[in-house]
Chain A
Amino acid sequence: MSWMPSTTAIMQSLLTGTLIGGYYGLFALGFTLSWGILDIINMSYFPFAVLAAYITYTTITILGFDPFFSLIFSIPSFFIMGVLMQIFFNRFKIDIFRSLIITFALFIVVENTLSYIWTADVRRAPVGFLGGSFFIDTIYIPIGELIAFFVGILIVLGNLIILRRTKLGLALRAVAENREASAMWGVNYSRTALIVGGLSMCYVAIAGMFIAVFYPFTPTQGHVFIGRIFAVTIFGGLGSVTGAFIAGIILGVAESVAAILFSPSWSPLVAFLLLMVILVVKPTGLTQR
């Protein structure tokens, strides 16, 4: 019963691993911004992503629109929620450890609220062509994952442009480097933090939309991402969107190739061993913010 994968299978796993990893990276973007720049480990992002999935589900099943249409509702509302959360964090000077506890409590509130509104029942949205794939010879390319990958790249590029070409970006980099020193040079931390908090939640909304595209889900769907997103965030370097995206791809490819070469049950082991090795060699993560 021993099976040796063909070259096609290995190429296929490299490709699908890259695409799935890109989604992990996309999911981690808001998390790494919040953690790296604001010193807020925001656990509530996970159930908020599921909330975005429910908004997408409702948009598809009740309104009959395309999943992407849901972003019209979720992005502005998530931006406002992110800003409100950050106002709270700023007002009470919440530090990194207390942020973990407070946002974990918020995690429970949001998850219970989702159960209250949509019940704990499984939901699956009909996503049409997004659930399909196209073929190049015998290699399949899943459409939804491909779109998520490119959305991730667009966000990373957008962030790079903002960080390197705008005054806001300069302020963000200064805040990430040294909050007090940046304040001495006239950077308004509170206002900058509000923008980062809002932006992070926008990325969560986008990642959450893809949950509804890829999976049947329940209010607890966010749990399955916690380990991976923490890994990707740390692996990529706190606060680095580029690093998070690349780390996501490495993790996705490691999982996928391990599943093909060894066994799917080895996937998490191989992926997290790789993470450990890289962190020993380069403790700051792949890239710097």
Chain B
Amino acid sequence: MLVQKKITRRRAISSAVAAGAVVGVGILAGVGGYFAGASTGGRVETIIQKETVTVGGQTVTVTNTVTQPTTVTVTGTVGPAKPVVIGYTLPMTGIFSATGILHDIADRVAIKRINDTGGFLGRPVERLVYDDRSDISQIPPLYERLITQDKVDLIVGPYATPFIAAAMPVAEKYRKLYIFDSYTLPKRATYEFAFSSWATGYNTDIEWPTLLFEALQNSAGKLPKTLVVVHSTHPGAAFVASGVPQVAEKFGIEVLDVIKYELGTTDFLPIATRLKELKPEFVFQGALGLDESNLRTALDKAGFIPYGHSSLWPSVGAMLGLGALGDGLISQSVFEAHIPFTHDAEARYFVENYQKLAREVGLAYWKADTQGGTSYAMFQILREGVRGSNSLNDEDIANWLKKNKVDTIFGELTFDGPNNYGPMKTWIAQIQKGEQIIVWPPDYAKPGSRLQYPSPLAKGY
């Protein structure tokens, strides 16, 4: 028997309003996101540069380490030809958006530079960027869409290791060239057309800790006797941290404990309490984002600061926000806006334009560094691949990259090793007097600098 459900007028209006509110709010969210440069799932931005521009005679004023004027000579004029479209995603909203915005700024600078210097094979270059909303489930369908529906000419990777990993099978399925900028699992980048602009090296889990301990030994002149590894469950961080005990043993450093915590942890007081009991001379933190500054704050509250504290990919802005407490924190870096990097004209161009844009959009930390640097280098590699192979064919570019060296803002890169990785070019950086600088190796260190260890802030022993 059918029971007729009575629907009152009020209920009907209520339901309609609720549905309307959801739709309306969704539209508002989209509009808000658009104005924030962050549309949820929609086309964020298309940049087309067609004019011939000469940028010259300007000095970078934000850091005294960049002292030479930048003059960019235009080597080609972009005509009205059909643009070459490069498609990819970025986390413009969601938990990774704080870093996504840095990549977006660097990418804008890179595309402008490409167009200012002749585009790709005489054609202007534009980018088609979708907001992946920091949601990994969005990655495969968005890359499918870019390749099959938008029919972009080329793709590059999104931001962050899990996202890059998620797009890689799609790139492989369509045999697309796949250059990415922030992938930290080199042993899993097995796709033959995959290339990393972040020169982590194939054995970064061994090579980077080795470089760190060499820096302590040679630049600071002292090795710690004891060490604790603290790492998050982020796959890249866990991978690098996994090599530390083995390397530490080679250097005669005793590993007191390995402490693992969930990605997304905000309460670091229990870990600080544990470290205070263990009293290691050095803390190796395999982490990224805000974890380093959160642990540092917790350690300070606990009354224990180790002689040395290193991390991997921290939010530099958050660490500098710690003030004096942030001084001495060690991390990875491929690029900082100082000599010797700024000896290179294109690096100066990048620094100048990145920092200008970053300040315009209101970033608290606006200095050009690793995150933006790897993103810019990603487009440099693509540019050199296209120009070197004289082709927009994915396979042609990939084959050219495998056989040739590419000049980037952080030096010459090669892709002739396992999984197309060349030698590691990821260095030791440290916050000193409120500035992040590279301190080791000497060829890349800021002139006159050295790794500071042990930290004068150390306490609680």
Contacts and interface: CB of A to CB of B under 8 A. Distances in A.
Of all A-B residue pairs in the complex, the 6 with the closest CB atoms, nearest first, are A124-B321, A259-B270, A105-B25, A120-B97, A264-B261, A116-B36
Chain A CB count within 10 A is highest, among B32, B134, B270, for B270
A216 B365 contact: no
A101 to B, nearest CB: 6
A214 B271 CA distance: 16
26 contacts: A5-B274, A9-B274, A13-B270, A92-B14, A102-B18, A105-B29, A106-B25, A108-B40, A112-B36, A115-B97, A118-B362, A120-B100, A121-B362, A124-B322, A126-B323, A133-B301, A135-B303, A215-B266, A216-B294, A220-B95, A220-B98, A259-B270, A259-B274, A263-B260, A264-B259, A264-B271
Nearest to B15: A98
Interface of B: 10-11, 13-15, 17-18, 21-22, 25-26, 28-29, 32-33, 35-36, 38, 40, 92-95, 97-98, 100-101, 134, 233, 255-262, 264-267, 269-271, 273-274, 276-278, 290, 293-294, 297, 300-303, 315, 317-318, 321-323, 361-365
Contact of A3 (B100, B276, B278): B278
Interface in A102-117: 102, 105-106, 108-109, 111-113, 115-116
A132 B305 CA distance: 13
B22 A1 contact: no
A76 interface: no
A265 B233 contact: yes
A126 B28 CA distance: 34
A121 B364 contact: yes
Contact of B14 (A94, A252, A260): A94
A112 B28 CA distance: 10
B22 A102 contact: yes
B29 to A, nearest CB: 4
Contacts of A265: 233, 260-262
A64 interface: no
Interface string A234-273: 0000000000000000001001100110011101100000
A152 interface: no
Contact of B273 (A9, A92, A111): A9
Contact of A256 (B17, B267, B297, B362): B267
A93 interface: yes
A289 to B, nearest CB: 26
A135 B460 CA distance: 12
A20 interface: yes
Given A140-B303, A260-B270, A105 B32 contact: no
A121 B21 contact: no
A109 B98 contact: no
B25 A216 contact: no
A105 B293 CA distance: 32
A255 B271 CA distance: 11
Interface residues of A, number: 58
Contacts of A94: 14, 18
B257 A124 contact: no
B67 to A, nearest CB: 27
A121 B303 contact: no
B258 A113 contact: no
Contacts of A108: 25-26, 29, 40
A6 interface: yes
A1 B365 contact: no
Contact of B297 (A9, A116, A131): A131
A218 interface: yes
Given A93-B10, A124-B293, A119 B278 contact: no
A109 B25 contact: yes
Nearest to B91: A120
Contacts of B18: 92, 94, 98, 101-102
A16 interface: yes
Interface of A: 1, 3, 5-6, 8-9, 12-13, 16-17, 20, 92-94, 98, 101-102, 105-106, 108-109, 111-113, 115-116, 118-124, 126, 131-133, 135, 140, 142, 214-216, 218-220, 223-224, 252, 255-256, 259-260, 263-265, 267-268
Given A20-B269, A256-B267, A121 B297 contact: no
A138 to B, nearest CB: 8
A9 B302 CA distance: 11
B22 A224 contact: no
A6 B29 contact: no
A265 B270 CA distance: 11
Contacts of A126: 321, 323
Given A112-B29, A115-B93, A142-B269, 15 more contacts: A3-B278, A9-B274, A13-B270, A92-B21, A105-B22, A108-B29, A121-B101, A121-B364, A122-B290, A122-B317, A122-B365, A131-B301, A216-B321, A263-B261, A267-B270
Given A131-B301, A215-B294, A259-B274, A122 B318 contact: yes
Contacts of B11: 93
Contacts of A256: 267, 269-270
A235 B418 CA distance: 52
A265 B38 CA distance: 33
Nearest to B294: A215
Given A93-B14, A112-B33, A264-B262, A124 B274 contact: no
Contact of B274 (A3, A20, A93): A3
Given A3-B256, A120-B92, A133 B271 contact: no
Contacts of B36: 112-113, 115-116
A287 B321 CA distance: 41
A3 B254 CA distance: 14
Contacts of B269: 16, 20, 142, 256
Contacts of A92: 13-14, 17-18, 21
A116 B100 contact: no
Given A112-B33, A265-B261, A119 B363 contact: yes
Contacts of B256: 1, 3
B301 A140 contact: yes
A216 B290 contact: yes
Chain B CB count within 10 A is highest, among A13, A112, A214, A252, for A112
Contacts of A118: 362
A109 B259 CA distance: 38
